[in-house]
Amino acid sequence: MNLQSLYSPAISADLKNQDVAVPAMSIVLVTPDRFQRILKTIHHLLRQTVRDRLEIIIVSPSKKELDLDPLELAVFLNYDLAEAKVSESISAAKAVGIHKATAPVVVFGEDHSYPEPSWAEALIEAHRQPWAGIGPVLCNANPHSPFSWANFFIAYGPWIEPISSGVIDTLSEHNTSYKRALLLEFGSQLKYLLDREGGLHRTLQTRGHRLYLESRARTHHLNFDRLLPSLAIRFHAGRAFGATRARAGCWSALRRVIYAGGTPLSPLMRFGDILYHITRTGRKRELLPRILPALVLLLAATALGEAIGYLFGIGHTYQKLDAFEFSGELLDKSSSISLASHPNAGKNSRNGK
């Protein structure tokens, strides 16, 4: 197959120099400390059908302390390193990675999300169209736990497989690919829009751009599968939602109190959407009796967090949620996804700054 035919002129025509093509897509990976933390994701990226058209951008607090193994990145077209204060803001670190990237398409990777081999090829091909953001379909990487499924449907219901490709109102946070030029238009505001990507999606749409779900791009997402961490992440996600909603609407104190008082009804309203997506995916009979208790507990934790957000604001919730983003090593013990094979071919790394 002629891979070059997969790319639009905007993706394939630019040259870094006279004989080296610009990568088709840059994958930004943020780590709070060392390379080992993102290694399993790297191994899955090594299986990509277009790995020789990919650029890997690794953002960490310190290049020196990253403990990079260049041989792990040798088969990609290019890789580069950047430094950022990851512990202070993941979104700011992502913005640094976007500015470091050189491809016309950029996507964020996670230490607990493992793409299938055709994931990158599907996203690159879809970006031949004018979509501003293109997201993948999500699969549950640790499906043996009720809490994993409950977290998965609460956080990612609209994008869980099976689902058809098409224009969509919003995409999964942390897994969406974008046309890099559109992100750079936001300048210094980009790091704030990346804080919660739903806001970025809405802003792109107000500028006349559209979002697209690509069903051929599939990634397997690890979810919290134990009670206490699940309650914690749902509480903080609820608080972030409540606080952000009240702040964006410039709500009065009275309105905050009224909405906080109504949050006990929130689980009932959200349960309808979750039930729809469980039914849509053909898992109602199999899953619902098994995960219903977990759903009730986690939706209650979400509602409590939402009430706290309305009454007391955001607090340190964003920092708490950022900490949950680096959960791959913790969750990996229960993963049903096997480690990707490690190809040894192609050891001509372009660079490693």
Digit-coded pLDDT (tens) for 198-235? 889 999 999 999 999 999 999 999 999 999 999 999 99
Q: What percent of the chain has pLDDT over 90?
A: 80
pTM: 0.86
Greater pLDDT, 328 or 144: 144
Query: What mean pLDDT value characterizes the chain?
Result: 88
pLDDT tier at 11, thresholds 50, 70, 90: very low
Cα 82 to Cα 21, 85, 244, 256, 347: the distances in Å are 22, 10, 30, 41, 22
Bridge partner list, 27: 56, 107
Greater pLDDT, 109 or 334: 109
Angstrom distance (rounded) from CA 211 to CA 158: 14
Highest mean pLDDT: which range of 19-23, 272-276, 323-327: 272-276
The pLDDT of residue 328 is: 62
Bridge partner list, 218: 137
Q: What percent of the chain has pLDDT over 70?
A: 87
Q: Is the omega angle on the peptide bond into residue 162 within 30 degrees of 0, that is, cis?
A: yes
pLDDT tier at 87, thresholds 50, 70, 90: confident
The pLDDT of residue 12 is: 37
Angstrom distance (rounded) from CA 236 to CA 304: 9
The pLDDT of residue 250 is: 95
Angstrom distance (rounded) from CA 24 to CA 10: 9
pLDDT digits (tens, 9 = 90+) for 52-71: 999 999 999 999 999 999 99
pLDDT tier at 329, thresholds 50, 70, 90: low
The pLDDT of residue 340 is: 39
Angstrom distance (rounded) from CA 83 to CA 189: 19
Greater pLDDT, 298 or 328: 298
Residue 62: Cβ within 10 Å count? 12
The pLDDT of residue 4 is: 33
The pLDDT of residue 300 is: 98
Of the ranges 147-156, 160-169, 313-322, which one carries the lowest mean pLDDT score?
Answer: 313-322
